Amino acid sequence: MKNYKYCAETLKVGKTVHVKLIYSKGTIIIQGEVSTPYGQFDPRINAYRVQGYHYRDVLKYLENSKITYDDQVLDPPPAPPIEGEIQLYPYQQEALENWLKSEKRGVIVIATAGGKTFLGLKAIITTKEPTIIIVPTLVLVDHWVERLKEKLNIDAGVIGGGKKEIKYVTVTTYDSAYIYAEELGNKFSLIILDEAHHALAPNFALILEMFASPNRMGLTSTLHRPDMRHLDTPRLMGDVVYEATHEQLAGKYVAPFEYEKIFVDLTSEEKGVYEQQRKIYTDYLEKANLPLRTYEDFRRLIMRSGFDPEARAAVLARNLAFKIALNSAAKINFLAEQLKQVKEKTLIFTLHNDTVYQISKRFLVPAITHQTPEKERREILQKFKSGEYMAIVTSQVLDEGVDIPSASLGIILSGTGSPREYIQRLGRVLRKQEGKVAHLIEVVSRATSETNISLRRHRRLQDAAE
């Protein structure tokens, strides 16, 4: 309070106040006899500090208070010429304009296959600012690098996967951005957050707190998180400035689609083991009086399993029963029949990597998981696009952001209860092509916990839409 009073009195008597702003390891140092909102005094340097993401707020405060300042915060790489042009659909243009009106801050929620990458590219052309694009996977790093070269003739820098090259436009993963946040935090004035819901995870949120970048664009198809951390979006990225669902875009901007749910039965042997393991799990919950109604309830059970042997046995039994339901023999048999007659490019989705490799070995279908080397992954996707491969089996690594325009059939053999996962998998087959109608088949083991997971997935999806 003393420093705010000092600032006000100084301005009243007309005394010149001047400060210097310096970036230091994720924070802004404010040198001068002025405190600002969000700042804390650091006696080690006799100056105030604020977290990097308050850089924008500090500038506004100083300007509104008519305090002169020497801004030495941002230190971007050299600017290359940016060539090319991006044509947007009307809904994309509206989304971009909303973002610009919101002072180049905010989240754009558009259904998978709705062209979020093109919005990011258009933002780079429009703002002509040093930009870092942060994505969840190396697959998406490749995707953005290719699009930047193809559409804007930009040779982007890459951080991640053994590479570290910082350029005016740089693409990196959330993991790498977290590791190098202190170093990268003042290199870019614009952050583009692909699959922006990842940025709200506890560790990754630190990236947004340490980066001084005043302008931020979040791109996602589903912002909601089970841990409710999406409520922190306005602080870290800005408000949601535009939304468009699959239903709003289908037919005109993305392929029309058909959805089918197929129920299959466990074998008698699978059913016996499943029921035995489920009983161990449910008996423990009843004995310990542990109702599981929310994400937090389940998290407490997991924590309890760290010191309670019975709780650990119950969790292991639950996991085994769940795995039996997700990977039943009937599902593999159903897939076998589908692959015999399929004539369209097909993506097969499972939850577990061991099932991916089982399917790959049995049906001679190329597999992509997080363990697949970068060169092999690129080769598989290229051969799939060219038609040399008609099917790919994957776990969760292709759920987000991969552009596979020729895929028209998706078969979900197993997954989580997350509506986001369902939306992402649907989006993998919705890239628009002339005459294309996309199909998504969800295969569920009857009379198991998977039926509730499927219902929960779609119920949450409907609730989010409403």
Q: pLDDT class for 412, splitting at 50, 70, 90?
A: very high
CA distance 195 to 416: 18
Residue 2: predicted pLDDT: 33
Residue 85, domain member (yes or no)? no
Is the domain of 368 the same as that of 341? yes
What are the backbone dihedrals phi and psi of residue 39, each rounded to the nearest 5 degrees, phi first?
Answer: -85, 150
Is the domain of 112 the same as that of 233? yes
Is the domain of 173 the same as that of 226? yes
Phi-psi region of 392 (alpha: psi -120 to 50; beta: other; left: phi over 0): beta
Residue 226, domain member (yes or no)? yes
Global pTM reads: 0.75
Is the domain of 261 the same as that of 285? no
If you average pLDDT over every residue of the chain, what do you get?
Answer: 88
Is the domain of 58 the same as that of 94? no
Residue 100, domain member (yes or no)? yes
Residue 252, domain member (yes or no)? no
Residue 288, domain member (yes or no)? yes
Rounded average pLDDT over 104-109: 97
The H or E element containing residue 359 is: helix 353-363
Is the domain of 339 the same as that of 322? no
CA distance 361 to 341: 19
Most confident of 59-63, 171-175, 462-466: 171-175
Is the domain of 139 the same as that of 274? no
User: Would you list the DSSP string of 152-200?
Assistant: H----EEEETTEE---SEEEEEHHHHHHTHHHHTTS-SEEEEETGGGGG
State how many domains the chain has: 4
* Residue 378: CATH number of its domain: 3.40.50.300
Domain of residue 46: give its range.
2-72
- The residues pairing with 108 across neighbouring beta strands, listed in sequence order, are 219, 242
CB proximity list for 73: less than 8 A, separation 6 or greater: 21, 22, 23, 28, 55, 186, 212
Tokens linked to 210: 């340490």
What type of residue sits at position 224? H
Q: pLDDT class for 9, splitting at 50, 70, 90?
A: very low
Is the domain of 305 the same as that of 376? no
The H or E element containing residue 228 is: none
Is the domain of 363 the same as that of 418? yes
Is the domain of 384 the same as that of 420? yes
Higher pLDDT, 436 or 170: 170
- How far from 36 is each of 2, 28, 64, 77, 247, CA to CA, in Å? 12, 11, 12, 29, 46
Tens digit of pLDDT for each residue in 170-211? Answer: 999 999 999 999 999 999 999 999 999 999 999 999 999 999
Residue 400 has pLDDT above 70, yes or no: no
Residue 441, domain member (yes or no)? yes
